[in-house]
């Protein structure tokens, strides 16, 4: 932004922010966009030292009173509220100056949670963003933003929101299909992407069958799926329990290629059940 | 007093140097749809933010960036450290004395990993140049603060003033 625009931003009325003492006055904008050039006009004669002091920056300039001092672009990049001191040999004058963020977003800090989630959870995926300008100043005035969550099947959820105080957020449903979803936040010409893995939920139903093999009872489940039809991942533990004459045998088996299978003693009259997590499957009573 | 301006919690801050206490007023949160933080979370964030003013003041007075570490992180710490570096080059230092805070929680991220406050702060700035000349100004500004959780406290990640 050029110097003239900086003065315009500050406003002509307030451009004459005057602090007068002993014949010396200074005039500068009260408000400047971060990184913009600006100028300081003074009256009087002789040398003076200008300090612009704030938590994010301290600037010192030796200036000639009675002249215009120009400050190049990038001189004050950090948004904040600054004290301005003009020190001469005989006096110190003060004023204040606000540096405001650039209006154009440059970076979006986007945090999506979780990175891995079960399918079919309402509002299970959340995203929060903070918006910064190119100088890493938080842009605090309202701006539109959109969040999009798209699944491999092409299904997309979209939410429009408004950035307030530099921040916004949304919540999305995980969809019925497993896979890698793209969670995108868009603002003006910039966007940021996060990937959310949607994984199958708990088994929906368990169905096993039994047959005799080499004198042992061979038990095997049908392919185990969640309630949306997604294959439950290998490694999920399935528990087989055989109860016979008051005794009980239990075997935990991980799913392999979608099914769990095991061999257990073939006891006539035994009751065999299968379960995974909180899901109970069918029961079989084995009779020779 | 209207309900929206209710919740007046008065804290007293005593600076390490024993200067005047700052009054702290805590407004009711103005979250506008974002999740509401648990009460203890909000109180902890505000407590740690107020502590950050003490650490800020000490660090800028003594030109010791390491004094920022317990309260500031990320961009806020980088910018304040740069200020200390500039002051050191100039042989100057500054003393920030917070006089009054009016704090409001304005955003809490749904995963609980950030909380944002605004604070209408009144404070005095005393800037001392290399020759020992003191320049003093009373300031008031609206600060926007973003804090993120660290191991045992909230740390300030964004510390930015804007026109009131």
Task: Tell me the pLDDT tens digit for each residue of B44-94.
Answer: 999 999 999 999 999 999 999 999 999 999 999 999 999 999 999 999 999
pLDDT of residue A228: 84
Q: Retrieve residue B37's tokens.
A: 């933080």
- Is B89 in CB contact (< 8 Å) with chain A? no
- Is B160 in CB contact (< 8 Å) with chain A? yes
Nearest to B161 among A60, A80, A87 (CB): A80
Mean pLDDT to the nearest integer, B95-112: 96
Q: Retrieve residue A237's tokens.
A: 């533990």
Nearest to A98 among B106, B159, B163 (CB): B163
pTM (2 d.p.): 0.82
A2: pLDDT confidence band, cut at 50, 70 and 90? Answer: very low
Nearest to B125 among A49, A53, A59 (CB): A53
Cβ-Cβ contacts under 8 Å for B1 (sequence gap 6 or more): B8
Chain A residues in contact with B159 by the CB 8 A cut-off are 55-56
Nearest to A31 among B35, B113, B163 (CB): B163
Q: Domains in chain A and their CATH numbers?
A: 3-100 (2.60.40.1930), 107-199 (2.60.40.10), 208-286 (2.60.40)
Q: Do the chains contact at B127 and A83, CB–CB below 8 Å?
A: yes
pLDDT of residue B12: 44
Q: Do the chains contact at B109 and A128, CB–CB below 8 Å?
A: yes
In a 3-state reduction of DSSP, which class is residue B140? strand
pLDDT of residue A53: 98
Q: Do the chains contact at B106 and A128, CB–CB below 8 Å?
A: no
pLDDT of residue B11: 44
B19: pLDDT confidence band, cut at 50, 70 and 90? Answer: low
The ipTM (two decimal places) reads 0.89
- Is B149 in CB contact (< 8 Å) with chain A? no
Chain B residues in contact with A126 by the CB 8 A cut-off are 109-111
Residue A85 backbone dihedrals phi, psi, to 5 degrees: -120, 130
Q: Does B5 or A278 have the greater pLDDT score?
A: A278
Nearest to B83 among A31, A56, A98 (CB): A56
Cβ-Cβ contacts under 8 Å for A101 (sequence gap 6 or more): A33, A34, A79, A132, A133, A135, A137, A138, A139, A140, B160
Mean pLDDT over the full length of chain A: 89
Q: Do the chains contact at A94 and B139, CB–CB below 8 Å?
A: no
A14, β-bridge pairs: none
Least confident of A9-18, A258-267, B29-38: A9-18
Least confident of A19-23, A260-264, B15-19: B15-19
Task: Tell me the pLDDT tens digit for each residue of A67-84.
Answer: 999 999 999 999 999 999
pLDDT of residue A246: 87
Q: Domains in chain B and their CATH numbers?
A: 3-162 (3.10.450.240)
DSSP 8-state class, residue B20: P
Nearest-Cα distance to chain B for A206, in Å, is 34
pLDDT of residue A209: 94
Please return the burial class of B124, using the count of CB atoms within 10 Å of its CB with bins 0-12, 13-18 and 19+.
middle
Cβ-Cβ contacts under 8 Å for B33 (sequence gap 6 or more): none
Q: Do the chains contact at A51 and B135, CB–CB below 8 Å?
A: yes
- Is B107 in CB contact (< 8 Å) with chain A? yes
A21: pLDDT confidence band, cut at 50, 70 and 90? Answer: very low
> Rg (Cα) of chain B, in Å, rounded?
16
pLDDT of residue A287: 87
Query: For residue A3, is pLDDT > 90?
Result: no
Q: Retrieve residue A198's tokens.
A: 């949607």
Task: Tell me the pLDDT tens digit for each residue of A176-235.
Answer: 888 999 999 999 889 999 999 998 888 988 999 999 998 899 999 999 999 888 899 899
Q: Do the chains contact at A165 and B107, CB–CB below 8 Å?
A: yes
Nearest CA in chain A to B158: A138
Nearest-Cα distance to chain B for A124, in Å, is 11
A22: pLDDT confidence band, cut at 50, 70 and 90? Answer: low
Nearest to B118 among A49, A81, A165 (CB): A165
pLDDT of residue B20: 63
- Is B58 in CB contact (< 8 Å) with chain A? no
Task: Tell me the pLDDT tens digit for each residue of B128-159.
Answer: 999 999 999 999 999 999 999 998 999 999 99
pLDDT of residue B6: 39
Mean pLDDT to the nearest integer, A26-53: 94
Comparing C-alpha atoms, which of A41, A44, A43, A47 is closest to residue A29?
Answer: A41
pLDDT of residue A120: 87
Q: Please report which residue ranges of chain A form alpha helices under DSSP H.
A: 3-10, 12-15
Cβ contacts below 8 Å, chain A against chain B, sum to 131
- Distance CA(A148)–CA(A150), nearest Å, equals 6
pLDDT of residue A23: 72
CB count within 10 Å of CB A212 equals 11
Mean pLDDT to the nearest integer, A25-49: 93
Chain A residues in contact with B128 by the CB 8 A cut-off are none
Nearest to A58 among B86, B96, B161 (CB): B86
Least confident of A2-16, A91-105, A181-195, A227-241: A2-16
pLDDT of residue B10: 44
Nearest-Cα distance to chain B for A169, in Å, is 7
Q: Do the chains contact at A138 and B146, CB–CB below 8 Å?
A: yes
pLDDT of residue B103: 98
- Is B129 in CB contact (< 8 Å) with chain A? yes
Q: Please report which residue ranges of A2-62 form alpha helices under DSSP H.
A: 3-10, 12-15
């Amino acid at each position: 932004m050029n110097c003239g625009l900086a003065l315009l931003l500050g406003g002509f009325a307030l451009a004459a922010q005057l602090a007068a003492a002993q014949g010396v006055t200074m005039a500068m904008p009260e408000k400047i966009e971060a990184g913009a050039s600006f100028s300081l006009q003074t009256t009087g004669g002789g040398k003076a030292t200008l300090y612009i002091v704030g938590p994010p920056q301290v600037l010192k300039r030796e200036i000639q009173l009675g002249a215009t001092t120009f400050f190049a672009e990038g001189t004050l990049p950090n948004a904040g509220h600054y004290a301005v001191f003009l020190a001469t040999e005989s006096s110190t004058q003060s004023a204040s100056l606000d540096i405001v963020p650039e209006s154009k977003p440059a970076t979006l800090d986007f945090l999506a949670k979780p990175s891995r989630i079960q399918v079919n959870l309402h509002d299970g995926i959340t995203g929060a963003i903070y918006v910064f300008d190119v100088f890493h100043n938080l842009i605090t005035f309202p701006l539109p933003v959109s969040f999009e969550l798209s699944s491999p099947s092409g299904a997309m959820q979209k939410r429009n929101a408004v950035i307030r105080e530099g921040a916004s957020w949304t919540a999305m449903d995980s969809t019925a299909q497993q896979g890698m979803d793209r969670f995108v936040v868009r603002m003006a010409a910039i966007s940021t992407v996060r990937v959310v893995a949607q994984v199958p939920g708990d088994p929906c139903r368990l169905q096993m069958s039994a047959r005799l093999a080499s004198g042992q009872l061979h038990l095997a489940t049908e392919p185990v799926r969640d309630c949306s039809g997604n294959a439950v991942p290998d490694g999920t533990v399935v528990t087989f329990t055989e109860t016979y004459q008051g005794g009980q045998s239990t075997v935990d088996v991980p799913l392999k290629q979608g099914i769990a299978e095991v061999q257990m003693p073939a006891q006539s009259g035994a009751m065999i059940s299968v379960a995974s997590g909180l899901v109970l499957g069918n029961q079989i009573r084995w009779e020779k | 007093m209207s309900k929206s301006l209710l919740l007046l919690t008065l804290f007293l801050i005593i600076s390490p140097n024993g200067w005047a206490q700052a009054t702290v007023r805590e407004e009711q949160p103005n979250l506008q749809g974002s999740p509401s933080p648990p009460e203890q979370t909000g109180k902890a964030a505000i407590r740690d933010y107020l502590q950050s003013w003490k650490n800020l003041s000490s660090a800028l007075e003594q030109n010791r960036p390491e004094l920022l570490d317990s309260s500031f992180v990320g961009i806020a710490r980088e910018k304040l450290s740069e200020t200390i570096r500039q002051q050191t080059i100039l042989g100057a230092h500054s003393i920030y004395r917070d006089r009054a805070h009016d704090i409001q929680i304005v955003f809490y991220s749904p995963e609980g990993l950030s909380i944002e406050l605004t604070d209408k702060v009144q404070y005095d700035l005393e800037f001392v140049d290399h020759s020992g000349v003191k320049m003093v100004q009373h300031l008031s500004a609206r600060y926007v603060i973003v804090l993120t959780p660290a191991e045992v406290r909230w740390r300030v990640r964004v510390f930015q003033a804007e026109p009131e």
